Amino acid sequence: MFELFADQPLLPTLWFAVISFFWAGYIILDGFDLGVGMLMSRIFAKNEKERRLLLNTIGPVWDGNEVWVVTGGAATFAAFPLWYASLFSALYIPLTLALLALIFRAVAIEYRGKKDSESWIAGWTLAISLGSFFIAFLVGALLALTSTGLPINANGDRVGGAFAWLTPAVFMGGLAMVGISLVMGLAFIALKTDGEVRHRAGAALVKFSPLLVLPVIVWVIYMQVTTGNGISYALTVLAVLALAAAWFFASRRSEGKAFSGFAVFVGFGVLAIFLALYPNVLPSTLDEAYNLTIANASSSEYTLRVMSWVGLFGIPILLVYQSWTYWVFRKRLRVENIPDAHDATELATRATRASVHNA
């Protein structure tokens, strides 16, 4: 089983594993707050207080969750510059749209409560939901194209027009990321809230999660059938078992175990996809000889060695800090704890005036 790694360089393999870990962490953590963002629309939240309740559940953590995708992108740039250059140049349009969606959503979250106006709040709520949807869809499309391949030539350049990347894999990955984000969002809402919202999220999770995770299952199975290996097969089996356990715990209203089960499913599923891809980092759909691999796309050994020392200290700090954040904000929230919109706006205004005065 482990002969897969026998002829591959050690440090590039290590950093391929680290980047896979970053993507798994991003999909789990930012996945649930993207899901919560989508669920702030009328498809789940019934009124303004419920929408503000949902926003408060992710308020302390949503921006920290995005650290994972930034770190993953930076690690890709430093460890595999040719992979980064080929992927980002080939996907210039969807990546630009994803960046705009990230900015749009961040602005919407910050500005939503700045004015006590129904139209103002409704507009920024729509912006949060749409921004969350497009981020999830485009990130999923990016990862699907990374795993299934792009029409790149021997120089790593994309062949074809500006929309050569628009393949069925885009929709498979996009729907998979949207679906798992909604599942993780419902699981997180059930875990972090109490009362009617908690029970409604739990019921929706049990009812809709089998349908929402189908694109993820299709993606994982497709990768195993086309390029899978013994280790990725084992991870796929573990992912399916974790999914079954998560649904079981969700049906028993054991929210903590259900959320953990779905997170394990995502983690094993992402790792199974990356391991099925290994040792390639970006396959060419034109010719296998043009595939970018961990060997021909990586930085020098010296660069990877320096990165390894930085990561040895930096990654544990990231994990400890985020774990502390979640521990501090672990308390459940209720609709009854949410002040009226007018009162909340008045408090925000006073806080702003006080900070300006103190400055």
Could you write out the three-class secondary structure of the chain? CHHHHCCCCHHHHHHHHHHHHHHHHHHHHHHHHHHHHHHCCCCCCCCHHHHHHHHHHHCCCHHHHCHHHHHHHHHHHHHCHHHHHHHHHHCHHHHHHHHHHHHHHHHHHHHHHHCCCHHHHHHHHHHHHHHHHHHHHHHHHHHHHHHHCECECCCCCECCCCCCCCCHHHHHHHHHHHHHHHHHHHHHHHHHECCHHHHHHHHHHHHHHHHHCHHHHHHHHHHHHHHCCHHHHHHHHHHHHHHHHHHHHHHCCCHHHHHHHHHHHHHHHHHHHHHHHCCEEECECCCHHHCEECCCCCCCHHHHHHHHHHHHHHHHHHHHHHHHHHHHCCCCECHHHCCCHHHHHHHHHHHHHHHHHHC
CA contacts within 13 A on the Cβ side of 206: 14
- pLDDT given for residue 42 in this prediction: 86
| Domain ranges within the chain, ordered by starting residue | 25-230+278-348
- pLDDT given for residue 163 in this prediction: 82
- pLDDT given for residue 341 in this prediction: 60
Instruction: Give the mean pLDDT per block of 10 residues along the chain (359 residues).
Output: 74 95 94 95 90 93 90 94 90 91 92 87 93 95 91 87 83 94 96 94 95 92 88 93 96 95 95 92 91 93 95 93 92 85 52 45
- pLDDT given for residue 312 in this prediction: 93
Q: Which tokens is 26 given?
A: 């991003």
Give the residue from 47, 48, 27, 41 showing the smallest Cα distance to 129.
Answer: 41
- pLDDT given for residue 160 in this prediction: 80
> Among all chains, which residue has been given the structure tokens 């999914």?
243
Q: Can you give the pTM of this predicted structure?
A: 0.90
- pLDDT given for residue 339 in this prediction: 80
